[in-house]
Structure 1
Amino acid sequence: MPDITVASYNIHKGIGIDRRRDLTRIAHVIEELQADVVALQEADARFGDRRGLLDLDRLATMGLKRVEVRGLRERSHGWHGNVMLVRRDTEVEGVERLALPGLEPRGAIVADLVVHGVPVRVIGTHLALLGQSRIKQVAMVLDQLAALSDRPTVLMGDTNEWRRGEATLKGFLPHFPQSARAPSFPAPFPILPLDRVMLSHGRIEDFTVHVSALSRRASDHLPVRARLVLPD
């Protein structure tokens, strides 16, 4: 069975626990992940022109390209701060953006990719702080998936859910029976499993919270990484 490596990382607008914005440091952490697909959250400024905060040229030298999303603001890198990076040889077959319901502006990117010759759908998202909003957001993502063709699907991002039993994420479980979690926040002493990887078909293996000297300082979240074994 083929496998791909994915990662999710809330970069906190490039601001580390030392309160310095250091995008080179963020790029180095992304390079440490050695992933085929990376879902980033908080990759744009929150206010004003919501300019993108990534060092795209530096990422390109690492062999990563940004998945293009139509309809973004002129200077934004992502959709409500969500950015998806893939290896240069990854084929992008289609991309949609979802505006998720709730009091805060939140969104998701849905991308149909071919990674190492394997078709896979990847959803990168950042769910709401409020539980009732998360429940509505889960329902909207599932409604969107129901309208699409069947395809192995991985959902990853900052879910803002830390409680046992999945709580507000329960709606995902029938569609994503494979779900991995481990403490990823706050970065210096992680106790809350906010950052998740979920899979519809196949197996999640080697799920880890990526801890390094840089990742402990670069953002308030640690990145998570997983190897996915997908059906042929």
Structure 2
Amino acid sequence: MLKVASYNMRKAIGTDRRRRPERILDVLGEIDADIVALQEADRRFGTRAAVLTPHLLAEHSDYQAVPVAVRAASMGWHGNVLLVRKSAEILAATPIQLPALEPRGAVSADVAVAGTRIRVVGMHLDLSGLWRRRQAKAVLDHLADASDAMPSVMMGDLNEWRPTAGCLQDFARSHSIAETGPSFHAKRPVGRLDRIMVSPGLTIAECGVHVSPAARVASDHLPIWALLA
């Protein structure tokens, strides 16, 4: 069994409007996933500095960040970060260029966790439905163009409110979508904006939204998770 999670951490600005990165790590500790996809993990302007500093991540978590950053101060690519356990082996990693009017991106990594090799994609898609579908195609093309096949899991904030239309329809042609439940807004979740999707070869054994007092205040999104077999 492999546990994965996705979390739009909103640059660690909580529902109390305070930026406290340590609360994000507390929530990740509660979930205890093997692989985590983070969105909005870097600041948006200036040097795009990481919100979870390398020191904070190293000293207060069991995770290492997959090296996909292009900017020296960043942890991710357009705010997208993949975290894996320190015991995991990172076999390959790359940022994915997405077509967009505003800065958007995705990240991909091949990792070995407890002897299992898996390809992981983290993403944060556009607010526009037309651009989301173009971005979904870019992600799916990236997976299809890989020289070696392995089971894949895609996670992130898709910004898709409709349950089966748009980019979800595109992803569903090749991946199963976990029924995790509504994750936005953290105070009163009604939207299923955050998604976990897996390819054939992976089975979703359990899944859900992580709800705790810490999660309700740490970001405006609740994290989602899935147990994969």
Is the contact between residue 178 and residue 203 of structure 1 (CA under 8 Å) also seen in structure 2?
no
Tell me how far 1:168 sits from its aligned partner: 2.7
Distance 2:108 2:129 in 1: 22
Distance 1:98 1:165 in 2: 25
Counterpart in the other structure of 1:191: 190
**What is the identity, as a one-letter code, of the residue corresponding to 1:31?**
G
Counterpart in the other structure of 1:211: 211
Is the contact between residue 180 and residue 198 of structure 1 (CA under 8 Å) also seen in structure 2?
no
Q: Structure 2 regions of 5+ residues with no counterpart?
A: none
RMSD, matched Cα:
1.2
Counterpart in the other structure of 2:226: 226
Distance 1:128 1:165 in 2: 17
Is the contact between residue 39 and residue 157 of structure 2 (CA under 8 Å) also seen in structure 1?
yes
Distance 1:134 1:16 in 2: 26
**Identity across the alignment (%):** 47
Q: How many residues align?
A: 226
Is the contact between residue 27 and residue 55 of structure 1 (CA under 8 Å) also seen in structure 2?
no
Normalized against structure 2, the TM-score is what? 0.95
Counterpart in the other structure of 1:162: 161
Normalized against structure 1, the TM-score is what? 0.94
Is the contact between residue 177 and residue 195 of structure 2 (CA under 8 Å) also seen in structure 1?
no
**What is the identity, as a one-letter code, of the residue corresponding to 2:225?**
R
Distance 1:79 1:111 in 2: 12
Alignment of 1:128-167 (within 5 A): 128-148=126-146, 149-167=148-166
Is the contact between residue 138 and residue 171 of structure 1 (CA under 8 Å) also seen in structure 2?
yes
Q: Which has the higher mean CA deviation after the structures are superposed, 48-57 or 156-165?
A: 48-57
SS at match of 2:136: helix
Distance 1:181 1:138 in 2: 20
Is the contact between residue 3 and residue 228 of structure 2 (CA under 8 Å) also seen in structure 1?
yes
Tell me how far 1:48 sits from its aligned partner: 1.1
Tell me how far 1:178 sits from its aligned partner: 4.1
Q: Which has the higher mean CA deviation after the structures are superposed, 133-142 or 48-57?
A: 48-57
Instruction: Give the 4+ runs in structure 1 shifted more than 4 A.
Output: none
